[in-house]
Structure 1
């Protein structure tokens, strides 16, 4: 991961390079220790696995029980996600309107199963992630930020009403 991040010339390139390095490990049995696979009935749970000493990236495991989801949000940095176990559904949005009439326009729904990887770099990273399956889901996230220091990769939460393209 370190080599992929240091050698990248732009955030999107870092995300692409990290995604390629993460993919082969996702379905590996025993990848995470048992405590790193524990969820929380109150909401999805974050386990910080590694923070690079210079703050250039962090590796996090997110554990989702069935039905748990994030708020609609964006990020402080580029991000790569890979599903280790279960299935996650990502709903992507963009802000439309203005002058107090902003809405979130649904642009895409992506379902990721174990072994699948995705990545992005701001802007254009507004989304909600949900465990839409009936079993626990675990995903690995690599962020281009020091999540140990920040506590989260979320930059902003979007409370605006959500609309579909047909609305």
Structure 2
């Protein structure tokens, strides 16, 4: 998951349609930057009004000219939404799994510009060291406490990779960070004694990543991991 670690106190699949679960994330009135309702939505049905507002803001954010600006704008949208207490996720996105953290698709932009994925982490669950397959991402802690450890790729020779830890951040609710290739190597961990929930906005559909497993001599071996969504 590239350019900065989460900052400020601020990782059987079912086929999805382009509009899958587009209204599942409820943005309560007050989801704009100034925490006041959006006037053009005043006559809309409440559930559609609030979810449309989040999509509207993200659509505008991803129109920025380059990945750095896109990621920063998306980060601001997510932080504003949580700061205003304007996000409500249905319970099905909060359920944890015993075998691994849960990864669930919340929304897929019909134009393919971005996807929103919600992850639910049980106590002690974590990712391996991994990249984002060249896709920018913004990650935000919705509930709980996460540890984010970012790494720099120092060298690689044949099938061996060397990394150096760059930063280690404890991120609480409302914390958000950007990952912009080539700075995309990290580990996410839920070190809390209760579940944590994170939201991830990807610059497209991330259907695979590269995972780096310790080789036992300080180096890592890389393999490709297919990514799927849980029910």
| TM superposition score category, shorter chain reference | 0.7 to 0.9
Greater fraction strand: 1
Measured against aligned partners, the alpha-carbon deviations of 1:120-150 in whole angstroms (never above 9, x if no partner) come to: 2110110010001111000111000124xx3
Measured after TM superposition, the shift of residue 30 of structure 1 is 6.0
Structure 1: stretches of 5+ with no match in the other structure: none
1:65-91 deviation per Cα after TM superposition (whole angstroms, max 9, x unaligned): 010011111113110011010011011
Gaps of 5+ in 2: 1-57, 219-231
Quote the RMSD (CA, aligned, Å).
1.9
Range 92-101 or range 47-56, more displaced: 92-101
Matched, 1:146 2:205: yes
Q: Which of 176, 185, 210 is 1:117 aligned to?
A: 176
1:1-167 aligned within 5 A: 1-6=58-63, 8-26=64-82, 28=85, 31-76=88-133, 77-100=135-158, 102-147=161-206, 150=207, 154-160=208-214
CA distance in 2, matches of 1:155, 1:64: 19
Quick check: which has more Rg, 1 or 2?
Answer: 2
The TM-score normalised by the length of structure 1 is: 0.86
Cα deviation code 1:72-113 (max 9, x no counterpart): 111131100110100110111122244355322111101110
Equivalent pair of 1:25/1:31 in contact (CA under 8 Å): no
